[in-house]
């Protein structure tokens, strides 16, 4: 089990385009016998909305 926090930013551009960036940072250690090992994920998405 992992508990994490998330921060992100999204930007709406002209013509329905969108860019999003997020950073997920783990708050709990993955393995109990290894200190300091936590999940960290950066994601970037690009999209286009037709609605």
pTM of the entire predicted model: 0.74
Q: Cα torsion at 30, 31, 33, 35 (round to 10°)?
A: -20
pLDDT surpassing 80 at residue 3: yes
**What pLDDT score was predicted for residue 6?**
96
| Domain extent listing, the chain | 1-31
pLDDT digits (tens, 9 = 90+) for 11-40: 999 999 999 999 999 999 988 788 889 999
* CA distances (Å), origin 6, targets 1, 24, 27: 16, 5, 11
């Amino acid at each position: 089990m992992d508990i994490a926090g998330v921060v992100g930013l999204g930007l709406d551009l002209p013509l329905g385009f969108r860019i999003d960036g997020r950073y997920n940072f783990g708050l709990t250690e993955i393995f109990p016998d290894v200190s300091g090992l936590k999940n960290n994920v950066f994601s970037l998405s690009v999209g286009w909305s037709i609605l």
